[in-house]
Structure 1
Amino acid sequence: MSEALLSKWLLTYFRQRLPFPKEWLPQGSYWVGGSLRDAYLAWLRGQAGDSKGPVDLDLMCPADPVGWAAGVARRLKAGFVVLDAERQIARIVLGQGGASTPTAATVDAALQVGPTPEADLRQRDFTCNALALELQEGHLLDPTGGRADIQQGCLRMVHPDNLSADPVRLLRAYRQAAQLGFALDPATAEAIRQRAPLLARVAAERVRAEVVTLLETGIPGLAHLQAAVAAGLLAAWLPRLAPQSPGFAQAQAVWQWAEIWQLQYPRTLAELAQPLADRRGGLLATVLAALLWDPAGTPAETVEAELERLRFSRAEMRAIQKLHQLLPLLQTLLTHSPTPGQQWRLYHQAGSLFGGLALLAAATGSSPQEIESWLRRYEDPQDPLAHLVPLLDGNDLLHSLGAKPGPWVGQLLQALQEAQAAGQIQTRAEALSFARRWRERSSQP
């Protein structure tokens, strides 16, 4: 199809997603970034593009992008934040659900770097990201051959020096290749390998963000993460991880079993997806636990140090530690005939992470059929072992026994629930009788 049709289509695509009148755009501005690349991909594939999802647009402006963005945000009564004062990058944030903005939208405006738009594009990371659409007439700039690389599904660096200028781009190459389904250009892969030590200088949060996105991209992301490890990129961050580490196959198996079990155990998998930190949930923690699990045994302190190095949250570290601690126990119970008390105790200890524990067990070689007998119980919210409803709580004990609070309350509640799981007590009266006998035996004050 002709260049004129492409330019018209891209300009229409942009204007349909722009959350304010096109007349408000600054003179001489260009549409740039990933959303332009993705729009061009949609054009090539004959797709209309996603017009209902969140809007994320990037603008390159010849002058004062911060002042312009602040003015538009005021007119829209929208959020506004300066992302980088030195490089003059600002963001307009519009909430979801308004009459004029039915979907959430962000518009980033950045100052053009260099004397011309082409000079700016030549300083970008990869050719597929070095396109720009002029927003008056729709002229498409492509000074680095990005369109040809997009057509061929090739992720190619603009210049090796651009990778050195911001070393997180070394890891970003693998992340974007995974997300786009592109192959990494061999010369680019070699340039990354040569510069791998530079990634140690990057802020931990930026490295973590790339690793997390690779893990969240599923099996393709794991394959590219493995290639990044082979290139030496994570030597300073996850030094135990090697290309041949069993963790890659284990993490891949977590994704495979999650897909299989999603339809059979939707409640369990939905609970696992709940956020632990930011938007990162228990499923991601399970994938990471599988990646870092060494069947030969690794001290918990070593795993914790690796996670701390990448600034994972305390909640995520506790979740991964719990999965690693409980995995051997579940593996043992799966090969024996556990008592009801043992089953309840494991469900109780795992809590909302039980789905992740089941996935981890399947990923590390336990029988899926045996695991599913546990999953069926957990999926049923009325199951008396997986979701035991205590007959008494702490207040009941204090009031009924006329005793003072202390550590004994938690110990007694645990004993009561174990007895209930084992079928030794079934009513409130039986629970109170059990509690009185327990207090007499334990000689609690």
Structure 2
Amino acid sequence: MNEAPPISHYTALSNATRLPSAVETLVEFFGSRDVEAYFVGGVVRDTLMGRKSEDIDIAVSVDAVTIGRQLAEALGTHCVSLHDEWQVARMALNDAEWSGYVDIATIQGDIEWDLCRRDFTINAMALPMSEAYHDDVEERLLDPCGGLPDLHAGVVRMVSPSAFDADCVRLMRGVRLAAQFEFSLDSETAEAIRERAALISDAPRERVRDELMRLLRTDQAYDGVRLLDELRLLCTVMPELANAKDVTQPKEHYWDVFNHLIEAVGWVDAMFRGDCDDVFPLNFVPRFEGMAEYFDRDVSDGFDRLTFLKLTALLHDIAKPSTKTVEDSGRIRFMGHHSEGAETVRDILTRLRFGKRGVEHVAGMVQQHLRPTQMAQKGEMPTGRALYRYYRDAGDIALDTLYLNMADYLAARGPALERSDWVNHCSLMQYILEEGQSSENRKRKESVQSLPKLVDGYDIIDRFALASGPGIGKLLETVREAQASGEVSTKEQALELVRASLERGGDGA
């Protein structure tokens, strides 16, 4: 992990979190009711780091649900009870400056005892609301576990090993926080996680999913995944990955299957960093207008295309171990690993409670990840018909799959990457990308359903004296592909294409 960034000092909580209206409202509300209330956890940590906090956690000395309902009424929003036993209430706030959740919890015991029950020291600090606008915020913190020194040092440290026993999802969270903030993981904390790694199997799967995806969402996903593996968490969450370890590949591959998958995650990270314009091999990666916005779009479960691309990179060759064969000549093959991999991915992601759209998004990319380099002979560019087929079959994942293919290529070659081969590969990806993105091809794709019918099945049967059956449908699809790519535009041209197809293969296949 990299050295932690320096902590910026702010004169007021509201300024640091950039939530002046939300914080001011909360301070006024609790102050007017003379309620002992504290900002706790992530909002304090993020404030001290100069980061915008996604959520605001508050600890109060009264019943959280009751006071939460009063606050919700005052703010014109709704309050829900998250945990009746521990008295936790949540409400959503959404204004011009900030949107997120406000969680209110009843203090268990006193505030310091409550903080010592938390997961990591950097999350175990509190700031009294009455002190939120003082200049010396750090001096007014309640920090019984030493979170502030760890924050300055860039260290993720457990409050105690029992924190993991109380909530095993914290095993994943520790790794995610280290990746998210580019912090180091304290050695005793790492060992405590390693010893308890098996407990993650008992955690609610949707929470494990969210921690994994939040880790992949960071710019340090590669380091995070490596750390998950070192701490025995990765293959506990996805046992199928364990089968990929030490599985050798053909000589074109530098890594075994398992390391290839993790390296692919790293290359996705690298391709989307903003500092790679002059760095080989990243400076040859094709870009397109609106690329950042495209990969920032939500796919499923609150996570974007880029995060799902990293997840797919981690899983794209998951079926190689089960499909590996070695011929008498010594040649290694993985026949059908893309199709079997798509099914395996469906099983894994369904088990982890991913939404159906997310499952199919990843499975589709796994199914299609070889296609971009199979569309033309080496050294040639794909025909219009091949491009039509690719964009038709890949659909919504067509662009994503191109970047998966590039990460796959880089991870396969590793340090043995040849400059000329990579430049040629990127030229192919650029061509597929530009042809798919060009206004002419985009209009053709959008209007394909409204193309006039040049021939129907009866025309083909009558002209060539064929019997009806599945072969006629294949011939009609051949005509439609050629029509969509601009190769034919009249009935006679279409029938001539059918004739040529029959002479080649008999049914247009």
1:115-264 pair list within 5 angstroms: 116-137=110-131, 139-218=140-219, 220-241=220-241, 244-259=258-273, 264=287
Q: How far does residue 7 in structure 1 lie from its aligned partner after superposition? A: 9.7
1:343 aligned onto 2:387: yes
1:137 CA drift (Å): 4.1
Change in CA separation of 1:171 and 1:391 when aligned onto 2, cut-off 3 Å: closer
Structure 1 position 83, deviation (Å):
1.6
Aligned to 1:24: 29
Q: Deviations over 1:351-378 (max 9, x none)?
A: 2212111111111217222211211222
More displaced, 103-112 or 182-191? 103-112
Q: Which residue of 2 aligns with 1:374?
A: 432
1:76 aligns with 2:103: no
Q: Report the 3-state secondary structure (helix = DSSP H, G, I; strand = E; otherwise coil) of the residue aligned with 1:302.
A: helix
Equivalent pair of 1:70/1:80 in contact (CA under 8 Å): yes
Q: TM-score, normalised by structure 2?
A: 0.72
Counterpart-to-counterpart distance in 2, 1:386 and 1:154: 54
Equivalent position of 2:375 in the other structure:
333
User: Residue type of the partner of 1:81?
Assistant: V
Tell me if structure 2 keeps the 8 A contact 1:343–1:385. no
Structure 2 unmatched runs, 5+: 1-8, 133-139, 246-257, 274-281, 325-333, 410-421, 460-469
Q: Quick one: which amino acid aligns to residue 483 of structure 2?
A: Q
Residue 40 of structure 2 is aligned to residue 40 of structure 1: no
Give the letter aligned to residue 24 of structure 1.
F
**Sequence identity, in percent?**
29
Counterpart of 1:369 in structure 2: which amino acid?
S
1:357 to 366, 377, 401: 401
Cα distance in 2 between the residues matched to 1:13 and 1:321:
41
2:393 is paired with a residue whose SS is: helix
The total of aligned residue pairs comes to: 413
Residues 72 and 79 of structure 2 are in contact (CA less than 8 Å); yes or no, is this contact kept in structure 1?
yes
1:275–1:282 CA contact under 8 A, matched in 2: yes
Q: Deviations over 1:34-68 (max 9, x none)?
A: 010111123xxxxxx55xxx762111111111111
How far apart are residue 413 of structure 1 and its match? 7.0
- Bigger CA drift: 185-194 or 236-245? 236-245
Please say if residues 215 and 284 of structure 1, whose CA atoms lie closer than 8 Å, have aligned partners that are also in contact.
yes
- Tell me how far 1:142 sits from its aligned partner: 0.6
User: Could you state the TM-score of these two structures normalised by the residue count of structure 1?
Assistant: 0.81
On the 8 A contact 1:282/1:319 being kept in 2, the answer is no
Q: Residue by residue, what CA displacement relative to the aligned partner does 1:311-361 show, whole Å, maximum 9, x if unpaired?
A: 222222222222222222322225433332122111211122121111111
**SS of residue in 2 equivalent to 1:59:** strand
Letter of the 2:48 counterpart: Y
Please name the residue that 1:106 is paired with: 101
1:61 partner amino acid: V
Partner Cα distance (2:191, 2:80) in 1: 38
What is the SS of the residue equivalent to 1:383?
A: helix
